[in-house]
Structure 1
Amino acid sequence: MSHQEYIIKEAAPGEFAKIGELMVNVYSQLEGFPSKQEQPNYYKMLASIGSLTENPKTKLLVAISSNGKIGGGVVYFGDMKYYGSGGTATAEKHASGFRLLAVDPATRGKGLGKRLTNACIQIAKDEKQNQMIIHSTQAMQIAWKMYENMGFRRSDDLDFMQGELPVFGFRLVFQK
């Protein structure tokens, strides 16, 4: 299946549970990432990912195939106060962010992560934001290269600890 057969769109409520399942599966398989036993509330949040859309300017985007298969998802935050991270990110002004980017292992390598990221960037630009903020962990270093190739730069001022887990901030400043 080619990546063109997937469209990126705002998820419908009927897709929320399946996207939540995908997120739990993807994050629980990351080497070096906390387990469900270590961070049960984090995994509960992943499973009920659609509830985040109850916040203003928050969207759950999905990559979905023409036959209804969910290939990935991401949560876009148009207002950083709902971003839900530690550290200083939630106080950033004129900024958008995204979190919880997950791509089904069966669809990796088809560009879905990049397409979901670009969809978030486009929404932020449409909303006239100045920058995009994201976070990642050591367990997600495969994604770091993609983010850096897309123009994101490490931003130490956004780093924080989630329990025992160091979380690293990245920033993409939009050209005026």
Structure 2
Amino acid sequence: MVQDYIVRKAKPEEYKEIGRLMITVYSTLKGFPNENEQPDYYKMLANIVDFAKKEDTDLLVAVTVDKTIAGAVVYFGDMQHYGSGGTATKEKNASGFRLLAVDVSKRGEGVGSLLVKECITKAKDKKALQLIIHTTDAMKIAWKMYENMGFKRAFNLDFMQGALKVYGFKLRF
């Protein structure tokens, strides 16, 4: 149930658990590179807090009323801190989010949507003109959610991360 979750900034004592959640989620995506194929990517996931240290960037979590972490995402108020390949970091008047992860046992309960809605709210509050995201074929399950929320493919933001095709999406306000 969506109402059973609270979305808020992550607390320092949660950072390691969030990193483990990210690694678990991404390493179990069918077709997504494993840790041996992209060790730097998994190191980044383990140290997810490094993003939260950047200016105008928040590590957000969705937690249950008993404080169990159900999902997390990194919101970027300014794309210069986004840290992806391609041209996304040059986008102006834009916010973005990356690294959306929902605990496998909590999927289908609206956790991902809640986290994305919080990113949309933050971007609108910042008066951004668009919200940018990236995804891969391994994450196609989330594409429908993004499209239902109004995100459109942004082919100019696509890039290759090693052998992995990464696809850009934008939500314009």
- Superposition deviation, residue 18 in structure 1: 0.6
Listed one character per residue, the Cα deviations across residues 30-72 of structure 1 (whole Å, up to 9, x for unaligned) are 0000000000110011011011111100000000111121000
Q: Distance in 2 between matches of 1:54 and 1:91?
A: 20
Question: Counterpart in 2 of 1:5?
Answer: 4
- Superposition deviation, residue 3 in structure 1: 2.9
Question: Counterpart in 2 of 1:136?
Answer: 135
- Superposition deviation, residue 102 in structure 1: 0.3
Report the residue type matching 1:138 in the other structure: D
Listed one character per residue, the Cα deviations across residues 3-39 of structure 1 (whole Å, up to 9, x for unaligned) are 3221000111111111110000000000000000000
TM-score, L = length of structure 1: 0.97
Q: Distance in 2 between matches of 1:164 and 1:51?
A: 25
Aligned structure 1 segments of 4 or more residues deviating by more than 4 angstroms: none
- Superposition deviation, residue 129 in structure 1: 0.5
Indicate the RMSD between aligned Cα atoms, in angstroms: 0.6
Alignment of 1:1-176 (within 5 A): 2-174=1-173
Listed one character per residue, the Cα deviations across residues 126-167 of structure 1 (whole Å, up to 9, x for unaligned) are 011100000000000000000000000001000000000000
Q: Is the 8 A contact 2:2 2:114 kept in 1?
A: no
Q: Distance in 1 between matches of 2:158 and 2:168?
A: 5
Count of residue pairs the alignment pairs up: 173
Q: Distance in 2 between matches of 1:111 and 1:6?
A: 9
Unaligned 5+ segments in structure 2 are none
Report the residue type matching 1:96 in the other structure: S
Listed one character per residue, the Cα deviations across residues 52-99 of structure 1 (whole Å, up to 9, x for unaligned) are 111100000000111121000000001101101111100000000000
Identity %: 60
TM-score, L = length of structure 2: 0.99
Q: Distance in 1 between matches of 2:12 and 2:150?
A: 32
